Chain A
Amino acid sequence: MVSRRGDADRGQAHTLEGVVASLLLLSAVIFALQMTAVTPLSASTSSQHLENQQESTARGILASAAESGALERSVLFWNETAEQFHNTSDAGYYTSDPPPNDFGHMLNRSFDSDGIAYNVYLGYLSDSVERQQRRLVYQGRPSDNAVRATWTLTIYENDVLYDHEGNPTTTRITQSSSYFAGNASESSVYNVVRVEVVVWRI
């Protein structure tokens, strides 16, 4: 009887020892996790590398599109009667599909196939000389690890709008009554649009 009670106590002690040892090991690991700045659970260097690639890719797309003129054509891809970009939904910007023009194809080739989402914003001077922003592509709210690349594009007064097939029309931008940006300058410059691409992984 005595020995049984003694051994029962020992059993409890074994259980407690096991639990205490487990807690000790786990707390050591948690302590070590707090000590390190970079863990697999935090935004690590490897995903930083991916973010750098996305940013550089976005910048390359903007530069390539600006060089080939696709960026300007995309900004001037305006539907006069609907008072929004060609083939957009009622929201006035592209959502799931890229813009149906060369700039959209560039974005699509680099980003759409890899599970990457992007927004494109157009910042411009309004009549009251305050910067305003309009969405060109909006696929959702960017995550905390989104990256951004921008390109500044000058639109001149003798630039013309483009039709839904990407061909130039005869409508000059100064003749358009519905274009989103107004004439912000007295000179031959019509407006300066800052094209901003925000990219993140989904």
Chain B
Amino acid sequence: MQTTGTQQESATAHGADTGRDSCTGDRRRVADRQRRVRRGVRGQTTLDFAVGMSLFLVSLTFIMLFVPGMLGPFVGGAQDEIPAANRVADDLATRLLGNASEPYALDADCTRQFFESAPPSGCEFDGTTIEERVGVKERTNVNVTILGNTSGGTVDEVLCWDDTNGRVVERDDASCGSSSEDVVLSRGSNPDESGGKTVSAQRVALLDGRDVTIEVVMW
């Protein structure tokens, strides 16, 4: 059907060409009629063409937008870190910061030592850098932070070991930093410098008689 239409159209165009050569008087009328006809046909073609083409373009745009999102979960950047972050968080909560015989009960002294760079004594971890202590490769960025709520406020804050009173307070508490032995319970690379793709794992544990959240961020 389509092929026939094309042939007919080209035949008409060819006939018009010969007509223009033979008679000058009829030329304008023929040309006018041809223009009218062509304009009418062109208008209809454009409308149909527009409908078909816009349908096609709309679905093409939809697919162009949809497919990258569909593939997103497979190309996500920090996927490898998910098992590592979970392992580090489990290890910290159940063994490294306390004792494997009492999982989720953190030892205050070992927790303090973990966030200091001095060699530990009497704890489950060794080494000085945080990567050595949790057992990840050196080119992996890791940040360990202990969050809690000791002031009765609405949000969790980074905790701090207050050596003077031997207890855990929030970082913005006045007694944090009053002694040189006070330790902010956060260590490692700064997640703000990660470029956005980080994986975090949270565990809840008991420290100094309070429930605290251990947050491990890796990238």
Task: Fill in one digit per residue for A15-34: 1 if any B CB lies within 8 Å of its CB, else 0.
Answer: 11111011001100100110
Interface footprint category on B: 35 or more
Which of B66-74, B158-166, B173-181 binds A?
B66-74
Q: Interface SS of chain B: helix, strand, loop or mixed?
A: helix
* B211 CB to nearest A CB, Å: 5
B48 to A15, Cβ gap below 8 A? Answer: yes
User: Which of B69, B201, B211 has the largest number of chain A CB atoms within 10 A?
Assistant: B211
User: What's the Cα separation between A12 and B9 when bound, in Å?
Assistant: 16
CA distance A45 to B74 in the complex (A): 10
Number of A residues with CB within 8 Å of any CB on chain B: 50
Q: Does A57 contact B (CB under 8 A)?
A: yes
**Structural contact, B51 and A22, CB atoms closer than 8 A:** no
Q: Is the interface of A mostly helix, strand, loop or mixed?
A: helix
B8, A26: Cβ atoms under 8 Å?
no
Task: Return chain A residues, CB-CB under 8 Å to B66.
Answer: 29
* Among A18, A21, A32, A45, residue most surrounded by chain B Cβ atoms (within 10 Å): A18
In-complex Cβ contact of B103 among A4, A12, A32, A63 (8 A): A63
Say whether A6 contacts B6, CB under 8 Å: yes
A144 to B66, CA, bound (A): 26
Residue of A nearest to B41 (CB): A7
Residue of A4, A40, A61 ringed by the most chain B CB atoms within 10 A: A4
Q: 5 tightest CB-CB pairs across the interface, nearest first? A: A18-B52, A11-B48, A6-B5, A60-B204, A63-B104
